[in-house]
Amino acid sequence: MKNILVIEDSRTINNVIKQELSKLGFTIAQAYTLFDAREALKRETFDLIILDLHLPDGEGSELIANIQSLSQTKVVVLTSLQDKELREELFHYGILDYIIKDTNLLYSIAEIVKVIYTISSGVNGKVLMIDDSEFICKQVQHVLKPRNYIFEYALTAEEGLKKLMNNNYNLLILDMELPDIHGLKVLSLIRKNAKYNALPIMVLSGTTTPEIVRDVLKNGANDILKKPFVSEEFILKTDLWIDYFKKQNALKEKSKELEYLNNNLEDMVSEEIQKSREKDQIMFRQSRQAQMGEMIAMIAHQWRQPLNIIGTATSIINQRLRKDKLDIETANDLTKKITQNIEYLSATIDDFRDFFRPDKKKEITNFTKIVERALSLVQLSLENRGIAINIESRNEKDFFSYENELVQVVLNILKNAEDVLVDKALENAKIDIIIDGKTLKMTDNGGGISKEIMEQVFDPYFSTKLDKEGTGLGLYMSKIIVNEHCNGELSVESKDGKTAFFIDLRERND
């Protein structure tokens, strides 16, 4: 999707939208009146129209029926007009979204961009609907088709179950009153098959009394909507459940991959440990199999926090869905966190799979980007524990290095600082981060490190956490990453009750 027409009578707003979308590589045409819009549509076909409803010479809604019937152009409404009936009618026509102009216009534009990227990603999912009303099925098809969903329907339970067995779907929409089998029985039949345990099922029902809702959810449905449903609510829930289903599947696949990796590495490491018990400890550390063993521990160390965040977010979603208190803003925020952490889990596997290979590719990056990526995964944990983060950046400079590996280093240092500050239970616990060109300094006020321990900080298997979760590998691997992989220097100093870690990439990267 590249070609976009913005129809908005406010030249200021129109120009801001054009400016922001042009930065992302979109080609923008502008219209300020209904007449301008019609003339533009005569001359050219657009992939997307961003439409204000109230124009000087008419209503923007007059265009929508013609647009949808004449081409595959998609429509996002951006307006200050809050008319519930018109809003519902426009969704019936097949608009992608109805966005109210926020006082912060950039937020509204961000919502538009989110919609654009959603529909630009190809097929969003495959939906099966079992409902004896062909009219309702066609209505749902008309609503979902513009959003790049593959939609199929069946008018009987028997036909629907056959389709379900022969195809893979991301969401099932089920009517309760079917001509051959009652919806609750259909639910029970589907959930008895382990293949469909994770498939989201959204039920449509003419009545939603507490008893019906309870029976529907207890029999395995994930959600319930009352007929006649509001199109926008239906779309939002469809998007939410399919997105949730995809992320759950992605997480399962990555978990299987990690399990396979761990199982094989553990066998190899166990065999090598048995062979090398009579060898010198230094030779053991230098062997490739020992490095693989260290990799296993590091993967487990790096996965612990993201998995906790994913588990917490999933729990919140489930709890709020059961109480029917999941608003779209919260859903978007939580799914964004889940996505970020799934991507991090995936990247971690890839990083460590190639950890000791010399053919990894470097990229242009900087410490601001690296710190932001690291904090996006642990900032919530730090805030919940009352740890303040202060960031100062000056003389920012890009450098050519391994961004993902440096993120691992920053995460290791942040987590170690967090553990110390939590143990000390300080009221003013804080971590100061100073970015100066190609150097990074991270300081905590957790009391410092004694001279005896200072010399062992970067040694493998050395940890001050004793019986806790420490493996003694985090800082050791960080030292390898910075000094050997990134041609830099990782160092530490302690004074005045503070510990400071330095990452210096200047000397060999200039």
CB contact set of 214 (below 8 Å; sequence gap of 6+): none
Q: Decide the pairing of beta strands 201-205 and 171-175.
A: parallel
The pLDDT tens digits for 360-371 are 678 899 999 999
Separation of alpha carbons 197 and 192, rounded Å: 8
Spatial CA neighbour of 501 closest among 423, 422, 446: 446
CB contact set of 362 (below 8 Å; sequence gap of 6+): 400, 401, 402
CB contact set of 484 (below 8 Å; sequence gap of 6+): none
350 compared with 161, residue with greater pLDDT: 161
Contact 104, 127 (CB under 8 A): no
Q: Indicate whether 41 pLDDT > 60.
A: yes
The pLDDT tens digits for 70-98 are 447 788 888 887 777 888 778 777 788 88
- Dihedral sign, CA of 82, 87, 89, 93? positive
Q: Report residue 91 CA to chain centroid gap.
A: 26
* Section 328-345 average pLDDT: 88
Q: Report residue 505 CA to chain centroid gap.
A: 31
**What pLDDT is stored for residue 364 in this prediction?**
92
Amino acid type, 61 = S
Report the range of poorest mean pLDDT among 291-295, 333-337, 342-346. 291-295
Spatial CA neighbour of 74 closest among 47, 42, 41: 47
Does the model's pTM come out above 0.85? no
247-254 contacts at long range (C-beta below 8 A, 24 or more positions apart): 247/335, 247/338, 247/339, 247/342, 248/198, 249/198, 250/342, 250/346, 251/310, 251/342, 251/345, 254/342, 254/345, 254/346, 254/349
Percent of the chain with pLDDT over 70: 84
Element (H, E) at 363: strand 363-365
Q: What are residue 55's DSSP bridge partners?
A: 58
Please give the structure tokens belonging to residue 362. Answer: 């470097």
The DSSP secondary structure of 232-283, one letter per residue, reads: HHHHHHHHHHHHHHHHHHHHHHHHHHHHHHHHHHHHHHHHHHHHHTTS-HHH
Amino acid type, 102 = D
Separation of alpha carbons 379 and 485, rounded Å: 27
328 compared with 452, residue with greater pLDDT: 328
Mean pLDDT (the chain, rounded): 82
The DSSP secondary structure of 432-479, one letter per residue, reads: EEEEETTEEEEEE-S----HHHHTTTTSTT--S-TTSS--S-HHHHHH
Most distant CA pair in the chain, distance: 89
Q: Decide the pairing of beta strands 58-59 and 54-55.
A: antiparallel
Provide the pLDDT confidence category of residue 290 given band limits of 50, 70 and 90. Answer: very low
Please give the structure tokens belonging to residue 421. Answer: 């500050």
**What pLDDT is stored for residue 287 in this prediction?**
37
